[in-house]
Amino acid sequence: MEEEEEEEEVKESIENLWQEVRDLSLGTTPHIDHLPTPPTPLHFLRHYITPNKPCLISSAATRHWPALSLWPSATYLRSTLSTTPVSLHLTPTGKADSLTPHPTSPSSLCFASAHVQTLPFGEALDMVLNSREGETVAYLQQQNDCFRGEYGALKGDVEEHISWASEALGCLPEAVNLWVGNHFSETSFHKDHYENIYVVISGEKRFLLLPPTDVHRMYIRDYPAANYQYHQDSGEFTLELEDPIRYVPWCSVDPCPSPKVKQREIDKFPLYFNGPKPFEVTVKAGEMLYLPSMWFHHVTQSPDETGLTIAINYWYDMPFDIKYAYFQFLQSIPYPPSKDPMLRKARNVESNSDGYTSNSGEESDITAFEENQEVRNGKDRKDN
């Protein structure tokens, strides 16, 4: 009885935290601050970096960037980059670094990474434009400072760094990355240990955001890592587990389930679906999003009339300070398990020989995952 009371106290304290951080700092609506002009370094530091709070900066910040008028033209990009070798990520669904059925045990899930190959830019861009979900979806990106490496010929079209952010953060970007994709590409919930200035050049990006205090709502579990292998002769994919086996901690929640499986997802992940609403923001061409370090984010995108969504982001080193220590401590606190047997079943995990835990892969979970994919695939085929 005493143990149950202690669990309820911990649960109540964690749930109170979700609301208090909104009441005291972030706001109680699902919207973030929208700044009409770029902030001064001091304002940015005081009102956004220090409180770890996102904001959207209007297109006034990028009005002078040549990229806004030049990059939506495939002709310009092909001419400037010509046969430059670039990294192309390939998946059958557009969902890389995300959960998918295990290749040898279909009743469980694994963490799947894209097949990556190097191609001349023109050929790679054609593959992006000709993507077909269920067959091959291509995405030009490589999170290794690719803009200043592979896409160096475009560097004069944007700022080398965001001056007011660099001054406020006291450093220059650690990495600058370019992203060229289409509406098939989707990024599952995750967090990064970087201060991120994300700029959309063409199309739109829709972000769902949750603060680090909401970590328990993400149902982070360890999943075995796998990689897609693309076979060019057949145009088909296989999914292969890494050897030796490696486990990746990843968010289990799909925030946009189809109506057919939505109730099952709510039952499995009630902390997400029944808790405070995530913050939502659509970043349009020319706008900047400040995405603070360790915020969980899920991203979908819409292309412009050329069929492309193009963005560039500036990653600044995150200070591993007291905020990081707070997060590590919070994450270490187990959320008391529900007494509802259906929810206990949904959260069931099993230990493996390495001492990691992984999703037990309840058949109902996998069925819901596959049905959700079928509904989405059918909708995409109908819309396109």
Q: What digits encode the pLDDT tens for the residues 305-336? A: 999 999 999 999 999 999 999 999 999 998 87
Q: Please give the mean pLDDT across all residues of the chain.
A: 89
The full length of the chain comes to 384
**Going by C-beta distance under 8 Å and a sequence separation of 6 or more, which residues neighbour residue 341?**
none
pLDDT of residue 373: 54
Cα 162 to its chain centre, rounded Å, is 22
Count CB neighbours of 30 within 10 A.
13
Pairwise pLDDT comparison (334 vs 377), residue with the higher score: 334
User: Quick check: 53 pLDDT over 90?
Assistant: yes
User: Quick check: 347 pLDDT over 50?
Assistant: no
- Worst-scoring range by mean pLDDT, 81-90, 262-271, 374-383? 374-383
As a whole number of angstroms, the distance between CA 257 and CA 263 comes to 9
Confidence of residue 96 (pLDDT cuts 50, 70, 90): confident
Task: Give the tens place of pLDDT for each residue, 162-177.
Answer: 999 999 999 999 999 9
Across residues 268-294, what is the average pLDDT? 97
User: Quick check: 251 pLDDT over 50?
Assistant: yes
Q: Give the distance between the most distant pair of CA atoms in the chain.
A: 72
> CA nearest 288: which of 108, 76, 48?
48
As a whole number of angstroms, the distance between CA 245 and CA 294 comes to 26
User: Quick check: 350 pLDDT over 70?
Assistant: no
As a whole number of angstroms, the distance between CA 21 and CA 31 comes to 15
Pairwise pLDDT comparison (346 vs 121), residue with the higher score: 121
As a whole number of angstroms, the distance between CA 333 and CA 163 comes to 39
Task: Give the tens place of pLDDT for each residue, 231-250.
Answer: 988 989 999 999 999 999 99
Start-to-end CA span in the chain (Å): 57
Task: Give the tens place of pLDDT for each residue, 147-202.
Answer: 999 999 999 999 999 999 999 999 999 999 999 999 999 999 999 999 999 999 99
Task: Give the tens place of pLDDT for each residue, 110-132.
Answer: 999 999 999 999 999 999 999 99
- Worst-scoring range by mean pLDDT, 104-108, 233-237, 289-293, 369-373? 369-373
What is this structure's pTM?
0.88
pLDDT of residue 3: 78
